[in-house]
A and B are shown apart, each in its own frame.
Chain A
Amino acid sequence: MDYEAIWDKGLSEEAVRYLSKQKNEPEWMLELRLKAFEWFKKLELPPWVEGLEDLNYDEIIYYLKPKAEKAQSWEELPEDIRKIYDQLGIPEAEKKYLAGVTAQFESSVLYEKVEQYLAEKGVIFISLDEAVQKYPELVRKYFAKLVPINDNKFAALNTAFWSGGVFLYVPKGVKVDRILQAYFRIQMQSLGQFERTLIIVEEDAEVSYVEGCSAPIYSKASLHAAVVEVFAHKRSRVRYTTVQNWSKNVYNLVTKRGMAYEGAYIEWLDGNMGSKVTYKYPGIILKEPYAKAKILSIASASSGQLIDSGGKAIHLAPHTSSTIISKSISMGSGISKYRGWIKVAKGAKHAKVSVNCDALLLDKESRTDTYPNIDIHEKDTQITHEATVGKIEEEQLFYLMSRGFDEETAKTMIVMGFVEEFIKEIPLEYAVELNRLIKLEMEGSIG
């Protein structure tokens, strides 16, 4: 698909039709897009949203012509991004891809092996655009069923203009024992502005999926509004890992949701490092008995950033359990917020919920907020919620310094300890990069 053909008449119904025609989509998808666009115009932002005043919807049009918004050469990239690439030790070719200088990241050898492995298992792992053409029934059955088109303003916007993203289907009983990474798949515009991910895991199947990238992704487009839907059928296990590090001019407004059927287990690991403003709350609906959910998120907000993240768990059936662990670090004038929603519906007996959110403030200007909502309609439940906010303890610092570490190293060690719970859960190469990233972010912010 080549969007070089330019559409620059603003956001309109015509634009939706044009996009759909370019993609040669079936009629139902076009109708859905049009309906969603109507909702986008109608819906308002929630009253508590801040930091989106400068968001300009007209810039959205950039994305219909992705080629035009990439940096043309390595030298054009902002200094800080180049520095981070160098310090992370990313290979030259990959650096250029991430920066958008070259259109493709040459990983075809590696990629072929993945392809072969998946074919043996019968797993479908393609772009969603492709899936609409190849498996229209499957897509139609699940698309926008978990995140309705009018869920929120940005979900509506995404539904109207979605392009790129991943479609992953794991058949019944198949256990995918390797981690699937969208990384290998970014040849296909999946890093788009309105990416859309649809994951369906059939009964007794297992999969672990990683999206995003810990290296900063440079994008001139200022808005990223993605939607992710995960369906975990009976007794399946899904682990969804996101590491997000958009460059610091991006508005990252994402709707992520999972549905867990009987005995299914969804794990959501969510790391938020980059972007100017992030609003993101992975939500898991525990629809049938014995479903389990775990959301583990970290957020690191440095100067100029607002990261509003958290998790939601909706318990609709008995014997369901959920765990939410959130860790946030604010440094410089960064603002990090936790916002959560726990709901236990009537009849969801013996539900177990545990929420834990810790915030670490590194200096005087930084700020952190915690807004948990806990809504319980059933008496046979166990809910605990705990949160702490603090700074780096003088005692710990003193102890480390007495052991011969300088102040900066000591502080870094304490911060690394704080996020360890998250780091140890994610794939090694991400963990290594993330560790370095946090250190990098802290350089210059401590003083």
Chain B
Amino acid sequence: MKNYKYLLKEAESPDAYIEEVGIEDEEVITGDYEKVFVGTHKVRWKLKGKGTLWVYYLESMVKESWEIEGDFHIFSVVKPENYTYLKREVRSKGKVRWGTLVLGESELYSHYSLEGELEERGIAFLKEETIRWESTLLHAQPHGKSYSHVRALLNKGSHAQIRGLIDIGPEASDTNSYLEQHVILLDEDSHAFTWPALRIKNNQVRASHSSSISKVPEDMIFYLQTRGLTPQEGISLLAKGYLESVMPSEKLWEKVIGKL
């Protein structure tokens, strides 16, 4: 099992460290785009128009602020050697679909202020690793729509702490939001903590959440076995299914593999 050093020592917050670096990049994007982060960065993104973004976070500490107007599909891939720290501050007026794939020890903090629509899907595959994932979806304006679905598959003594919060302000009527967290524990030593929270100050809303932590469903394994698959193959199939929900097409999936 890897260390907890970043999770436990608040005093040595990577945040303060990044703050010293200052703003390095300011990117204005109007179409498709791709970027790879290694090392410490502080970035300001401005998105206008329509497009697809691929952002890779290898061994890095990144603090981002996003301003989004328009229709974007964003894929974030977090693949550290040891550890990655990512903090996103997002203001969106547009329609955003955001898929995040995590393959390694990391801390992710996302704060979304929403006026439009957001669909966040996250998936983490961990092996002897620790993840801390926090998303806050803030609706301060009316007519917003948000959906956040975070899943994790934990193996070999991995630890996941997943916190989500839907925060709906007194002015945000006619919003619809949903928060989902599902964790599958593959072995005895893995551990998960989930916190799906709602904070609602308005009654013209629909808000709900669901959360589950379990091992691989036995009935699924059984079903696949009757179809001639081993439990191992069953689990890979499940993992692939998860991945497809984040990165919808086989082609994109290949792209990720190729890149890594």
Contacts and interface: CB of A to CB of B under 8 A. Distances in A.
B4 interface: no
A385 B199 contact: no
Given A379-B190, A389-B205, 12 more contacts: A367-B199, A369-B200, A372-B195, A372-B197, A374-B211, A377-B191, A379-B185, A381-B215, A385-B194, A385-B196, A387-B196, A389-B198
Interface string A355-377: 00001011111111111111111
Pairs A-B, 10 closest by C-beta atoms: A361-B203, A379-B185, A388-B208, A370-B198, A385-B211, A391-B203, A389-B207, A367-B201, A379-B215, A376-B213
B43 interface: no
Given A364-B170, A373-B195, A389-B205, A384 B200 contact: no
Interface in B4-22: none
Interface in B194-249: 194-215
A374 B198 contact: no
Interface of B: 170, 173, 183, 185-188, 190-215
A382 B214 contact: yes
A75 interface: no
A441 interface: no
A362 B191 CA distance: 39
Interface residues of A, number: 33
Which among B170, B199, B205 has the highest number of chain A CB atoms within 10 Å?
B199
Given A372-B211, A374-B213, A381-B215, A389 B193 contact: no
B212 A385 contact: yes
A417 interface: no
B155 to A, nearest CB: 10
Given A361-B203, A362-B203, A367-B200, A387 B193 contact: no
B77 to A, nearest CB: 27
B216 to A, nearest CB: 9
Contacts of B173: 364
A368 to B, nearest CB: 5
B152 to A, nearest CB: 12
A386 interface: yes
Nearest to A367: B201
B214 A383 contact: yes
A337 to B, nearest CB: 9
Interface in A372-430: 372-391
Interface of chain B: mostly helix, strand, loop or mixed: strand
Given A363-B203, A371-B195, A373-B193, A379 B209 contact: no
A127 B215 CA distance: 47
A151 to B, nearest CB: 22
B203 A387 contact: no
Nearest to B201: A367
B205 A391 contact: yes
B202 A387 contact: no
Nearest to A361: B203
A388 B202 CA distance: 14
A372 B192 CA distance: 14
Contacts of B170: 364-365
A361 B200 contact: yes
Contacts of B208: 386-389
Contacts of A390: 205-207
Contacts of B194: 372, 374, 385
A378 B206 CA distance: 33
B197 A384 contact: no
27 contacts: A359-B200, A361-B202, A361-B203, A364-B203, A364-B204, A365-B170, A367-B199, A367-B201, A369-B198, A370-B198, A374-B211, A376-B185, A381-B213, A382-B214, A383-B213, A383-B214, A385-B212, A386-B208, A386-B211, A387-B198, A389-B200, A389-B205, A389-B206, A389-B207, A390-B205, A390-B207, A391-B203
A383 B194 CA distance: 11
A270 B201 CA distance: 24
B198 A368 contact: yes
B197 A371 contact: yes
A370 B215 contact: no
Nearest to A370: B198
B161 to A, nearest CB: 9
Which among A376, A378, A381 has the highest number of chain B CB atoms within 10 Å?
A376
Nearest to A337: B199
A372 B190 CA distance: 20
A317 B258 CA distance: 46
A371 B188 CA distance: 27
B193 A376 contact: yes
Contacts of A374: 192-195, 211, 213
Contacts of A367: 199-201
B48 to A, nearest CB: 34
Contacts of B192: 374-376
Nearest to A375: B193
A386 B205 CA distance: 17
A389 B196 CA distance: 13
Contact of B212 (A370, A380, A384, A389): A384
Nearest to A365: B170
Interface string A257-294: 00000000000000000000000000000000000000
A384 B196 CA distance: 12
A362 to B, nearest CB: 7
B169 to A, nearest CB: 10
A377 B157 CA distance: 10
A381 B198 contact: no
Contacts of B198: 359, 368-370, 387, 389
